[in-house]
Amino acid sequence: EVQLVESGGGLVQPGRSLKLSCAASGFTFSNYYMAWVRQAPKKGLEWVATISTSGSRTYYPDSVKGRFTISRDNAKSSLYLQMNSLKSEDTATYYCARAGIRAYVMDAWGQGASVTVSS
């Protein structure tokens, strides 16, 4: 069974940093692109980052480019999201997702990690 378990969420002040982790199991992690997608409270979905199988290529929307960094450790079957210079508009549930069919089609999702940016 595919499992994605996020951790590291919490309350953080504006301008500070936070790092999310995602532990993957039930599939060969190193074979898949991985992504982070967020959902602000009562809002829709927003793609945040994607990383290639080896980690050599990363992709971001303009809203987080230069502030967020996606990375992975294939030996540990783990995905990470380093979030710097956090803003109130980054408040959301962050989902770890596997891109199993196409590079940007998310076919498995974690339960989400809540991030609140507030003073």
Partner 1 sequence: DIQMTQSPASLSASLGETVTIECRASEDIYSNLAWYQQKPGNSPQLLIYDANSLADGVPSRFSGSGSGTQYSLKINSLQSEDVASYFCQQYNNYPTFGAGTKLELK
Site string (16-55) toward partner 1, x via CB under 8 A? ---------------------x------xxxx--------
Query: At which residue do the structure tokens 């050599």 appear?
Result: 56
User: Is 109 a binder of partner 1 (CB under 8 A)?
Assistant: yes
Q: In angstroms, what is the minimal distance from the CB of 16 to partner 1?
A: 26
Question: Residue 106 in contact with residue 81, Cβ under 8 Å?
Answer: no
Contacts of 28 (CB under 8 A, 6+ apart): none
Length of the chain counted residue by residue? 119
Shorter beta-carbon distance to partner 1: residue 48 or 117: 48
Instruction: Show the tokens assigned to 32.
Output: 């898949």
Where on the chain is the footprint of partner 1 (CB under 8 A)? 37, 44-47, 59, 61, 95, 101-112
